[in-house]
Structure 1
Amino acid sequence: MELGIFGKRVLVTGGTRGLGKTVVLALAKGGARVVTCHHSAGAAADDLSRELKELGDQHHVVRADVTAEDDVQRLAGVCKEAFGGLDVVINNVGVVGEAPVGELSAEEWSRVLDTNLTAHFLVTQASLPLLAEGGSVINIGASAALRGRAATAHYTASKAALIGLTKSLAKELGPRGIRINTIAPGVIDKGGDLGPPPQMRERLAKMTALGRLGTTDDVAGAVLFFAGDLSRYITGTTLNVDGGI
């Protein structure tokens, strides 16, 4: 059996660093055509554009703020112009936040909810006219949503709400043959400043059944599964990729 991603037309949000970059490159190497976006210009976007260029001319890196409706509509327009439609949407963009609830400002609450939840809604909504029958929407959540974590009420709430959004949209979009699922990573060592501090890595690794932190490749494998044809009868699910934490 093959994953069935060759030739797929894919949109990946937040695709220039960490997990997003790993997913974008895995899709491109597997023969998919990819549009991805980033919030700010910089070396990360330039590096990804260069790497994708080496894999072909059919990939596009676009600057867009997916919390802004106008930018999301423009991003959908790029997908339509480049591919004529979409087969897969991967809502990967996200931010973290930490503050005791008594010190959590309304601005910080909105920042995290807008990025981790509202952006997923906006991108999915804008993509609906482009999604082919049998299409797949993949939301990147967090296993913390199922456990809770102190001093991260806004972050945990955003990821828990994403599970509810996924389940509702699975019911609504199912008649069109569109699947929607959530992947819930645990603690992922994304390398550099994107992973947990060195002093925490050993302690967190010991909390998992497998005795190690996850990698972006571990999560990307689950993304490719949902993006391809092997998952064609799976929708409305949450898949934990957390090493049994």
Structure 2
Amino acid sequence: MSIDLTGKRILVTGGSRGIGRGIVLALARAGARTVACYRTESPAVAGLREELAATGAEHHLVQADVSVPEDVERLVSTAKEHFGALDVVVNNAGVISHVPFAELPLEEWRRVLDTNLTAPFMVIQKALPLLSAGSSVITVGSRAAVIGIPLRAHYTASKAGLIGLTRSLMKELGPKGIRVNLVAPGVIETEEFETAPPEEVARVKSRYQGLTGLGRLGTPDEIAGAVLFLSSDLSRYVTGETIHVDGGI
């Protein structure tokens, strides 16, 4: 069964690399009209423009830092200008760093929380007037949220906060017919694996392949599959859920 999203109007944050790139391209290939954002110009953004153009679907790329309120306002305004309303909002933009808790600077705590947790709050709140019955809000979290990982207390806390945000908004927005769900990836093989030292890549793959039921790492397309489902009418009775896409880790 293929999912047809022709005519759906979708906003995606953090769409130029990794999981976000896979999501934006999958939505466009399914026929959706998309507005996606990226933080800085790069070869990855240029490549995304080319791939989106090849889909033939309407798309708009906006330079925006979702941790900055003015950028969020401009991003949502772009969606309103081109689409008039939204059917789906996908909060994907995120950052991560690895710092021992005893040495974690307050500035780094705030940077990660602002991007991973506060930004989805701002995006959803600003986009709310564009949503109506049948709309879907999807946030990309992390399997780490319910496991905990050393050196990532700030990252894990931000992703755990998204679970609470999802559950609360599910109850608050449900009477309006708006669904709110979370997709929680496991270890996903993105472009970072191409630039990391070979020995580090081998170590990570060996460790996590042994921890997953399927014996391998995931791909951005496999996360995009869950987002496609939650963007479609196939999931019209699914809300408040955390869908783990982690290979059985």
What is the deviation of 1:55? 2.2
Q: Which residue of 2 aligns with 1:36?
A: 36
Please say if 1:209 is aligned against 2:213.
Answer: yes
In the TM superposition, what whole-angstrom CA distance separates every residue of 1:136-166 from its partner, at most 9, and x where no partner exists? 0100000010111111100000000000001
Do the aligned partners of 1:7 and 1:33 also contact (CA within 8 Å) in 2? yes
1:137 aligns to 2:141 (yes or no): no
Question: For residues 245 and 42 of structure 2, what CA distance do their matches in structure 1 show?
Answer: 30
> What 5-or-longer segments of structure 1 have no aligned partner?
none
Is the 1:4–1:230 contact (alpha carbons within 8 Å) kept by the matching residues of 2? Answer: no
Partner of 1:222: 226
* Contact preservation (8 Å) 1:35, 1:79: yes
Q: Which residue of 2 aligns with 1:66?
A: 66
Q: Does the CA contact (< 8 Å) of 2:22 and 2:221 recur in 1? A: yes
- Structure 2: gaps spanning 5 or more residues: none
**1:113–1:158 contact (8 Å) kept in structure 2:** yes
Alpha-carbon contact 2:69-2:122 (below 8 Å) kept: yes
Tell me the CA shift for residue 122 of structure 1: 0.6
Question: What is the CA deviation profile of residues 167-204 of structure 1, one whole-angstrom value per residue up to 9, with x for unaligned ones?
Answer: 00111111110001010001111132489733221111
Aligned counterparts of 1:158 and 1:123: Cα–Cα separation in 2: 16
Of 214, 236, 248, which aligns to 1:244?
Answer: 248
Q: What is the rounded CA distance, in whole Å, between the counterparts of 2:99 and 2:52 in structure 1?
A: 38
Q: Partners in 1 of 2:225 and 2:244 — Cα distance?
A: 12
Q: Is the 8 A contact 2:12 2:36 kept in 1?
A: yes
> Following TM superposition, by how much is the alpha carbon of 1:52 offset from its aligned partner in structure 2, in angstroms?
1.4
Residues 1:48 and 2:48 aligned together: yes
Q: CA contact under 8 A between 2:3 and 2:30: conserved in structure 1?
A: no
Partner SS state of residue 135, structure 2: strand
TM-score where L is the length of structure 1: 0.96
List aligned pairs for 1:123-162, cutoff 5 A.
123-162=123-162
For residues 107 and 45 of structure 2, the distance between their equivalents in structure 1, rounded to whole angstroms, comes to 28
Name the structure 2 match of 1:121: 121
Instruction: Note if contact 1:4-1:229 (Cα within 8 Å) is conserved in structure 2.
Output: no
Residue in 1 that maps onto 2:88 = 88
TM-score by length of 2: 0.95
Cα shift at 1:239: 0.7
**Which position in structure 1 is the counterpart of 2:170?**
170
Could you say which residue in structure 1 is the equivalent of 2:237?
A: 233
Q: Aligned partners of 1:67 and 1:227: how far apart in 2?
A: 24
SS of 1:182's equivalent in the other structure is strand
Question: Which residue of 2 is the match for residue 198 of structure 1?
Answer: 202
The question of whether the paired residues in 2 share the 8 Å contact of 1:3 and 1:229 is answered with no
Q: Distance in 2 between matches of 1:141 and 1:57?
A: 27
Cα distance change of structure 1 residues 193 and 142 upon mapping to structure 2, 3 Å threshold: farther
The residue matched to 2:132 in structure 1 has which SS?
Answer: strand
Q: Which amino acid aligns with 2:228?
A: L
CA RMSD of aligned residues (A): 1.5
The whole-number CA distance in structure 1 between the counterparts of 2:201 and 2:115 is: 23
2: CA distance, partners of 1:194 / 1:31: 34
Using the TM superposition, name which of 39-48 and 229-238 deviates more: 39-48
Measure, in 1, the Cα distance between the counterparts of 2:196 and 2:14: 14
Note the alpha carbon deviations across 1:24-74, whole angstroms, 9 max, x for none: 111111110000000011211111112212223621011011111111111
Q: Secondary structure at the match of 2:87?
A: strand
Mapped partners of 2:171, 2:195: distance in 1: 38
- Partner SS, residue 129 of structure 1: helix
What does residue 183 of structure 1 align with? 183
Amino acid at match of 2:78: V
1:2 is displaced (CA, Å) by 5.4
